[in-house]
């Protein structure tokens, strides 16, 4: 990689980490850049999946206050993310590379649509916090809020939905965070910030499982993966701390533009 490429990959990783901790879809910055540099779609996806993990983990840590008291439910949902991420990674590894290359424009297009409608998803999730009295730091699926979640809070529908999103995230992570916001907002009565904190944990879990599988399979290019990891780690911290002050419209527009350019390039 040239010095210019190194700088661009680090900056893209920084942007991806920031965006992932706030909204999701940050991979639509790093993945297209790896393609533009010359990596194949398979290697770019595997390397990017590994690279964004540190940012996802640190982004989740940055939302630890929103997650306080939520671990009984989030931990059980993480099981669904693990299973889904492992399934998606397996599909990525066993299917022919041509299948992934053909699917990428469709998956990126889906992610772009999700980015455009993300404000509606966010309002749907945030509206739950005003539908009734909910103790601070409490997620609940029932009509009665509790300060401490129990196994009863985990419905089969929610677990299955998280599992399915995990499959998507394990196969191709772009837009996974927005899907998680949609699912959690649909099933849980919680504030958007609480939903976002849970989303960060679940996305990090699915990505980490897939990254382990891709590393074992030997599809990871370590130089770009480590550069993205360095940038995304800083971005995850910045996103959790300051990212909420950024204009969501600007972020969405930038990511959609990158996604559309990538679709055109791959078509």
pLDDT for the residue 186: 77
Q: Cβ-count burial of 193 within 10 angstroms (0-12 exposed, 13-18 middle, 19+ buried)?
A: middle
Burial 147-173 (b: 16+ CB within 10 A, else e): eebeeebbeeebbebbbbbbbbbbbbb
Nearest alpha carbon to residue 102 among 154, 42, 162, 147: 42
Give residue-wise pLDDT tens across range 13-51: 999 998 888 877 788 889 999 999 999 999 999 999 999
- How far apart CA 215 and CA 232 sit, in angstroms, is 18
pTM for the model stands at 0.80
pLDDT for the residue 38: 92
Number of structural domains in the chain: 1
Q: What is the 3-state secondary structure (H, E, C) of 156-170?
A: HHHHHHHHHHHHHHH
Nearest alpha carbon to residue 92 among 189, 168, 187: 168
More confident residue, 34 or 107: 34
Residue 152 has pLDDT above 60, yes or no: no
The residue-averaged pLDDT of 123-150 equals 46
Give residue-wise pLDDT tens across range 80-96: 999 999 999 999 999 98
Output the CA angle 232-233-237, nearest 5 degrees: 105
pLDDT for the residue 258: 65
Give residue-wise pLDDT tens across range 206-250: 999 999 999 999 999 999 999 999 999 999 998 888 766 666 666
* CB half-sphere exposure, 161, CA atoms < 13 A: 16
Burial 7-46 (b: 16+ CB within 10 A, else e): ebbbbbbbbbbbbbbbbbbbbbbbbbbbbebebebbbbbb
φ, ψ (nearest 5 deg) of residue 175: 90, 0
The residue-averaged pLDDT of 247-261 equals 68
Q: Domain limits at 130?
A: 3-266
Give residue-wise pLDDT tens across range 186-217: 787 777 778 888 889 999 999 999 999 999 99
Q: What percent of the chain has pLDDT over 70?
A: 79
* CA-based max dimension of the chain: 57
- How far apart CA 35 and CA 45 sit, in angstroms, is 9
């Amino acid at each position: 990689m040239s010095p210019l490429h190194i700088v661009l990959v680090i900056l893209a990783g920084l942007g991806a980490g920031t965006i992932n901790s706030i909204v999701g879809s940050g991979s639509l910055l790093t993945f297209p850049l790896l393609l533009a540099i010359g990596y194949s779609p398979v290697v770019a996806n595997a390397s990017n999946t590994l690279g964004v993990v540190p940012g996802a983990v640190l982004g989740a840590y940055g939302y630890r206050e929103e997650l306080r008291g939520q671990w009984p439910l989030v931990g059980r949902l993480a099981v669904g993310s693990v299973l889904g991420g492992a399934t998606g990674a397996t599909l990525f590894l066993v299917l022919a590379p041509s299948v992934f290359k053909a699917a990428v424009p469709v998956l990126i297009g889906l992610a772009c649509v999700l980015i455009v409608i993300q404000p509606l998803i966010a309002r749907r999730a945030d509206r739950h916090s005003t539908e009734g009295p909910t103790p601070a730091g409490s997620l609940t699926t029932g009509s009665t809020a509790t300060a401490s979640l129990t196994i009863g809070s985990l419905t089969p529908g929610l677990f299955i939905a998280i599992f399915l999103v995990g499959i998507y995230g394990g196969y191709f992570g772009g837009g996974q965070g927005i899907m998680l916001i949609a699912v959690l907002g649909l099933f849980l009565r919680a504030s958007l910030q609480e939903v976002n904190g849970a989303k960060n944990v679940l996305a990090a879990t699915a990505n980490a499982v897939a990254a382990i599988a891709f590393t074992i399979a030997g599809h990871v290019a370590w130089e770009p993966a480590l550069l993205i990891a360095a940038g995304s780690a800083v971005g995850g911290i910045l996103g959790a701390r300051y990212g909420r002050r950024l204009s969501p419209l600007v972020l969405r527009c930038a990511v959609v533009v990158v996604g559309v350019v990538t679709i055109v390039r791959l078509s």
